[in-house]
Structure 1
Amino acid sequence: MAINNQQPSNNSNQRFKNIFSLDLSSLKFLNNLRKESRQFGVIGLGRFGRAVCETLYNMGYDVLGVDVDEKLVAQALTDKIASSAIRLDCTEVSALKEAGILELDTVIVAIGNYLEESIITTLNVKEAGVKYIVAKASSTTHGKLLKKVGADLVVYPEHQAGCELAYTLTKPGILDRFELDPDNSIVEVSIPPEFDSKTLAEVKLRSHYGLNVLAVGNDDKFIINPPPNYVLTKGLSMVVIGSNKDINKL
Structure 2
Amino acid sequence: MKKEFAVIGLGRFGGSICHALAEEGMEVMAIDVNEDRVNEFARIASHAVVGDTTDESVIKSLGIRNFDHVIVAIGDNIQASILTTLILKEVGVKKITVKATNDYHAKVLRKIGADHVVHPERDMGRRIAHSIVSNNVLDYLELSDEHSIVEIVANEKLSGHSIIDLDIRAKYGINIVAIKRENEIIVSPQANEKIQFNDILIVIGADVDINRFEKKVMS
For residue 112 of structure 1, report the CA deviation from its aligned partner: 3.0
User: Structure 1 residues 172 and 77, CA, compared in 2 at 3 Å: closer, same or farther?
Assistant: farther
Kindly indicate whether residue 195 of structure 2 is the aligned counterpart of residue 238 of structure 1. no
Q: Partner of 1:146 in structure 2?
A: 109
User: Considering only aligned residues, what root-mean-square deviation do their CA atoms show, in Å?
Assistant: 2.0
Matched, 1:63 2:39: no
Shift in Å, 1:218: 4.3
Report the Cα distance in structure 2 between the residues aligned to 1:51 and 1:112, rounded to whole angstroms.
13
2-structure distance, mates of 1:105, 1:239 = 31
Higher relative contact order (CA 8 A, sep 6+): 1
Corresponding residue number in structure 1 for 2:40: 75
The answer to whether the aligner puts 1:158 opposite 2:151 as a matched pair is no
AA of the residue aligned to 1:102? R
Q: Is 1:192 the counterpart of 2:162 in the alignment?
A: no
Separation in 1 of the partners of 2:95 and 2:24? 19
2:79 maps to which of 102, 116, 131: 116
Partner residue of 1:227 out of 187, 190, 193: 190
Q: Distance in 2 between matches of 1:42 and 1:219?
A: 37
1:238 partner letter: L
Q: 2:181 & 2:96 partners in 1: Cα distance?
A: 33
* CA distance in structure 2 between the partners assigned to 1:221 and 1:39 by the alignment: 33
Q: Is the 8 A contact 1:135 1:155 kept in 2?
A: yes
Q: Residues 129 and 221 (structure 1 numbering): CA distance in 2 closer, same or farther, change over 3 Å?
A: farther
In structure 2, runs of 5+ residues without a counterpart are 215-219
The one-letter code sitting in structure 2 at the alignment partner of 1:228 is A
Q: Matches of 2:184 and 2:91 in 1, distance apart?
A: 42
TM-score when scaled to structure 1? Answer: 0.78
The offset of 1:212, in angstroms, is 2.2
Structure 1: state its 5+ residue gaps.
Answer: 5-37
* DSSP-derived class of the 2:191 partner: coil
For residues 172 and 131 of structure 2, the distance between their equivalents in structure 1, rounded to whole angstroms, comes to 21
| Distance apart, 1:54 and its partner CA | 0.9
How many matched pairs? 213
Shift of 1:110: 0.6
